[in-house]
């Protein structure tokens, strides 16, 4: 039944992703009235699907709770939540042009090609919190990067004395979204790393700190802290902010891809 809910969510996200294009790019408010309700409905179906999936996993395999597909699906849910939060707070759907299609892509494989790959770890409740917090930090970083790109686009048009693009948020709004997303993501990333480190130290031992994924994760945290420090104290905006966010996002992608080199984080078939 959980797959049915997830497939319904993918369908609704697809409708919202199509509707958000004219709403954001051509400033057509009537399409916004389709995109937002479709996204909210999809989010509800998606949430029900995840609750049913995790409940079934706890009953059948309490120590193999996290699967690759569940991680993808949960990240998609966080991206949709980020889009709704920004659209309701700042009255802009521009970020949905990227966030909604990305949520669809992340949800397609879990919905239509479910697989058995799992991440075998003990203390599954704490590991779930570890994964959830890190995925929230990744989503916040992506949101900040997109907002910085929108800032750069609008800033360049203003410098060239061209009219601002309709549907895109003003400069102050884009910068506020980027800054607040970073400030939200840092405690999520910090808490997620601390929980994962504590659990791994108790179960794996000192060998955990020689894992490539772990070393890259701490490097990612340092890059994240450095980016926030630079933005807060130098007032960094525009092109340099985009470059800095892009660099940290590349580090995040490196951390994500390091799963295949990790002895602890690698997803394997049972």
127 and 242 fall within a common domain: yes
Token pair in block for residue 138: 């990744």
Higher pLDDT, residue 225 or 85: 85
Q: Could you give the CA distance from residue 97 to residue 20 in angstroms, rounded to a whole number?
A: 6
Strand partners, 67: 118
Tens digit of each residue's pLDDT (9 = 90 or more) over 118-156: 554 544 567 778 888 888 988 988 888 888 888 888 888
Q: Could you give the CA distance from residue 81 to residue 39 in angstroms, rounded to a whole number?
A: 9
3-state DSSP assignment of residue 67? strand
140 and 18 fall within a common domain: no
Q: What is the pTM of this model?
A: 0.77
Percentage of the chain modeled with pLDDT above 70: 76
103 and 198 fall within a common domain: no
Name the pairing type of β-strands 66-67 and 118-119.
Answer: antiparallel
Give the range of the structural domain holding residue 168, as residue numbers without chain letter.
121-270
- Is residue 268 scored above 50 in pLDDT? no
Distances in Å between the alpha carbon of 114 and those of 6, 14, 100, 150, 225?
11, 19, 21, 35, 36
89 and 128 fall within a common domain: no
- Look at residues 89, 118, 147 and tell me which one is the last residue of a structural domain: 118
Out of 29-33, 61-65, 92-96, 123-127, pick the least confident. 61-65
| CA end-to-end distance (rounded Å), the chain | 23
152 and 239 fall within a common domain: yes
Overall average pLDDT of the 67-94 stretch: 88
For 119, phi then psi, to 5°, come to -115, 95
Overall average pLDDT of the 213-221 stretch: 77
pLDDT averaged over the chain?
A: 79
133 and 42 fall within a common domain: no
84 and 179 fall within a common domain: no
57 and 134 fall within a common domain: no
Nearest to 267 by CA among 141, 132, 131: 131
Higher pLDDT, residue 96 or 128: 96
Q: Which residue has the tokens 């894992």?
A: 211
| Number of domains making up the chain | 2
Tens digit of each residue's pLDDT (9 = 90 or more) over 150-195: 888 888 887 777 776 677 788 888 888 888 888 898 899 888 888 8
């Amino acid at each position: 039944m959980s797959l049915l809910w997830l497939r319904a969510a993918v369908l609704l996200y697809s409708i919202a992703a199509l509707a958000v294009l004219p709403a954001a790019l051509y400033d057509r408010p009537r399409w916004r009235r389709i995109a937002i309700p479709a996204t909210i409905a999809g989010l509800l179906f998606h949430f029900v699907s995840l609750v049913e999936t995790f409940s079934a996993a706890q009953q059948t395999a309490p120590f193999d709770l996290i699967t690759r597909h569940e991680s993808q699906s949960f990240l998609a849910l966080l991206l949709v939540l980020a889009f709704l939060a920004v659209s309701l707070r700042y009255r802009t759907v521009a970020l949905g042009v990227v966030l909604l299609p990305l949520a669809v892509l992340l949800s397609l494989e879990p919905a239509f090609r479910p697989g058995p790959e799992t991440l075998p770890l003990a203390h599954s409740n704490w590991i779930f919190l570890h994964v959830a917090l890190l995925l929230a930090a990744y989503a916040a970083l992506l949101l900040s990067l997109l907002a910085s790109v929108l800032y750069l686009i609008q800033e360049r048009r203003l410098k060239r004395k061209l009219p601002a693009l309709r549907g895109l948020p003003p400069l102050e709004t884009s910068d506020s979204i980027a800054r607040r997303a970073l400030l939200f993501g840092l405690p999520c990333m910090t808490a997620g790393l601390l929980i994962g480190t504590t659990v791994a130290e108790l179960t794996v031992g000192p060998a955990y700190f020689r894992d490539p994924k772990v070393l890259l994760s701490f490097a990612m945290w340092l890059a994240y802290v450095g980016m926030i420090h630079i933005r807060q104290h130098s007032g960094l905006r525009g092109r340099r902010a985009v470059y800095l966010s892009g660099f940290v996002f590349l580090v995040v992608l490196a951390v994500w891809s390091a799963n295949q080199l990790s002895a602890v984080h690698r997803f394997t078939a049972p």
